[in-house]
Amino acid sequence: MKSRPFKQVDVFTATAYRGNPLAVVIDGTDLDDAAMQRFAQWTNLSETTFLLPPTDPGADYRVRIFTPGGELPFAGHPTIGSCHAWLQAGGKPKAAGLVVQQCGAGLVPLR
């Protein structure tokens, strides 16, 4: 079984354990839908995200968002937390001061 690094991010706070928790799998490549769903159920958090290479040339990276019950096209705290984790993991945006995240709802610009 391949080891998959992931972070638990505390979104919407500067104080540990006071925000909205999010699990972010840094490299979700090669995981199918069922495996992502099982991972989200295992974390038992409101959302778990998987960072992937973009399929849209305008995006810096792609994210898939799962709850224990299914996939979401978009959600606020997973968008912000995934961007934070992507940058911490060494992600480099194509444009200075702007990160473009691809998700089920389309392209989301983040500053």
Question: Is 47 one of the catalytic residues?
Answer: yes
CA atoms within 13 A on the CB side of 52: 19
Tokens of residue 31, six digits: 């995981």
Residue among 36, 47, 49, 62 flagged as catalytic: 47
Instruction: Give the span between the Cα atoms of 50 and 68, in whole angstroms.
Output: 14
Instruction: Give the span between the Cα atoms of 109 and 93, in whole angstroms.
Output: 11
Question: Would you please indicate which residues are annotated as catalytic (active-site) residues?
Answer: 47
